[in-house]
Structure 1
C-alpha cells in the first residue's frame, strides 16, 4: 500500500512539473515570437515598402549623356535601394512577350520611352519624402513622367501605424497572461507540498530556509521551459527566413540574442516571483486552513 501511494505521489509530482514546464514553454514561446516580430517589424515593413516601384520616363529627345548623368545621380542618392534602366526597345520586346503581338508592326514606330525602374529605401516610402523625391527628379528637363502608386503608399503607411499600435496592446496582454498562467501552475505545484511546508515551519525552520528549495526547483523548471521555448523560436526564425530571405531575420544575431536573453530572464524572474509569493501564502496560513 505504501509503495503504491508513493508511486501515486510521484506520478502527481511529475504531472505537476510537466504542467509547469508546458505552461512556461507555451507562454514564453508566444512572447518570444511576438518579441522577435516587434524587433524586426521595421525590417518587415521596409521590405514590403521597398517593393513599391517608382518608374521615371524620359523624353524621346533625351540623349545618352542625359541618361548616363541621371544614372550617376541615382547611384549616389541616399534614398535609392536599387534601380534598373529599361531601354524602350527592351520594353517593347517584353510587351510582345506578354501580349503576343508586335504593336510596332502596325504603328511603324516604338511609342515607348526609356525609363528607370526605381525601388526606394523603406524609410523614404512615406508621403512627404516620396513627394520631395518626385519634385527633385522633375527638375530634370528630360524627365517626361513619374509613375508610382500613391494610394498604395498611403494605405501601407496607415496600416503600419494601426498594426504597430495593436502589436503593443497584444504584447502587453500576453505579458499579463504569461504571469497569470505561470503563477497559477506554480501555485498548484506548491499546493501539493503545503503540509511539508507547514511541518518544516512547526519544527523551527525559517521562512527563507523553507522557500529556498522551492525557488531553486522553480527556477530549474523555468530554465527548462525557457530552453524549449528558445529551441522552438529558433525553429520559427529559420522557417520564416526560408520563406522571406530578403528580410534576413536569421542573420540578425543581435535581435535573436536579445530575444533569447529576454526569454531566459523572463522565465527565471516570473518563476522566482511566483514561487516566492506562493510559498509565502502557505507559510502564512494557519494549520486548519490547509485542509
Structure 2
C-alpha cells in the first residue's frame, strides 16, 4: 500500500544573529530537521513544506562581512517557503528505509546597514544602505536511511547543494549561497503515537566561494523537536536548534580573520498531515 501525503509544518523561531559565514548565510538551515525526523514514513511520494522566518540584528557592535562588503549595524530578515519532494523506497536498504529528496525554496530576503566600511571590487563607502531580493534558493539533494525499533527510531543522512540560487556577489542580500557544501549526520526519534521527541546532529564542510574568495569554516549543528499529537494528524509543540562553527572562516575574502558563528533558538510549532491521492 502506498499512501501519498502532503506534510505541512509551521515553526516560528526567535534567534540571535550568527556573526560569520559568507554573507551571514550557512549551508545548513538551522531547524531544518524537526518533528518525526528519524521516524520511517509510508513508501511512495510525499511533499513536506516548511515556512521559515528569521529576523536578525547585530546592533552595530562589530564589523560583519556581507555581500562583498564589510558593514556595521546589520538588520536583516527573510521569509522562505521550502518544498521537499521526497520518494521513499518500499524495499529495505541495509535493513533501513531509504529515501531521497530534492529541496528548494522561494522567498524574500532584505537587509539594511548603518554603515559600509568597504564595498565590492575594493570600493569604499560610508553611510547606510539597504537591499532586498525575491528569488529561489540553491537546490539541495538529501538522502536518508531510517531504522525502526518499536518506539525508537534512528537515522543517518547526507546532503549537498547545487549552487544555482539567486546570487550576486555585489549585492547586500542573497538567497543562493554562491558555493558548494556537504553535510552529514544522524538522528533519533521517540514516537509512541501520541508524544514525539526528535534530535538530529550533523556537520557541514564548505567549499570556497569563487566570487568572494571566502571559505566558511566547518559548522556543527543540532536540531530538536518535542510535540504532542492532539489528533492522529495534528500536533503542537516546540522546536529549537543549536549552531556552532568549530573552525574559522578563511580565504582572501575573509578580511576579518578567524571569524566564527554561534546561534541558538527556540519557538512553537504546529503540524498537520494532509492525505492526497488514493491508497494503491
TM-score bracket, shorter-length normalisation = under 0.3
Structure with the bigger percentage of strand = 2
Structure with the bigger percentage of helix = 1
Higher relative contact order (CA 8 A, sep 6+): 1
Asked which structure has the greater CA Rg, the reply is 1
